[in-house]
Chain A
Amino acid sequence: MVLFGITLNIFSSERFPPPQFESGYVRPEYTVPMPRGGVWPLIDAIVLLSALGIASWLVHKKRSRRALFGLMVFSLAYFGFYRKGCVCSIGSIQDMSLFLFNKDYVVPLLTVFFFIAPLVFTLLFGRSFCAGVCPLGAVQDITLIKPVKVPVWLEHTLRYLAYVYLALAVWLAVMGSAFVICKYDPYVAIFRRNGNLDILIMGGILLVIGFFIGRPYCRFLCPYGVILRQLSRLSRWRVRITPTDCNQCRLCEEACPYGAIRPPVHEWPEASYANDKKRLALFLILLPFIIAIGAWTGNSIAPSVSRTHPAVALAERIWMEENQQAEGTTDASQYFRSSGETIGSLYKRAAVIRAGFEKGGWFFGGFLGFILGGKLILLSLRPRQRDYEAERAGCVSCGRCFRYCPKEQEKIEETGGLSSR
Chain B
Amino acid sequence: MENYNDKRKSRREFLRDALRGASLVAIGGVIGVGWYRGHTATYAWQIDPYKCTTCGNCETACVLEESAVKCVHSYEMCGYCKICFGFFEPQPNAINEGGENQICPMGAIKRNFVEDPYYEYTIDESLCTGCAKCVKTCAGFGNGSLHMQVRHDRCVNCNNCAIALVCPSDAFKRVPVNSPYLFKNGGKA
Contact = CB atoms under 8 A, between A and B. Distances in A.
A16 B159 contact: no
B53 A334 contact: yes
Nearest to B38: A106
A229 to B, nearest CB: 13
B187 interface: yes
Contacts of A123: 20, 23-24
Which label, helix, strand, loop or mixed, suits the secondary structure of the A interface?
loop
A8 B169 contact: no
Interface string A69-89: 000000000000000101110
A77 B102 CA distance: 43
Interface string B132-165: 0000100111111100000111111111101001
Contacts of B184: 12
A108 interface: yes
A10 B23 contact: no
Given A12-B143, A21-B118, A116-B27, A87 B168 contact: no
Given A94-B160, A109-B39, A30 B72 contact: yes
Interface residues on A, range: 35 or more
Contacts of A31: 189
Contact of B159 (A19, A86, A332): A86
B69 interface: no
A1 B90 contact: yes
Interface stretch (A128-136, A177-185, A290-298, A361-369): A177-185
B16 interface: yes
A8 B140 CA distance: 5
A28 B122 contact: yes
A248 interface: no
15 contacts: A10-B139, A10-B140, A18-B80, A28-B73, A30-B189, A32-B181, A32-B189, A33-B151, A94-B160, A103-B37, A106-B41, A183-B165, A234-B20, A335-B169, A339-B169
Interface of B: 5, 16, 19-20, 23-24, 27, 30-31, 33-34, 37-44, 50-55, 57, 63-65, 72-73, 75-81, 90-91, 114-115, 118, 120, 122, 136, 139-145, 151-160, 162, 165, 168-170, 177-178, 180-181, 183-184, 187-189
Interface of A: 1-2, 4-5, 8-19, 21-23, 25, 27-37, 41, 84, 86-88, 91-92, 94-96, 99-100, 103, 106-112, 116, 119-120, 123, 178-179, 182-183, 188, 192, 194-195, 231, 233-236, 310, 330-332, 334-335, 339, 384
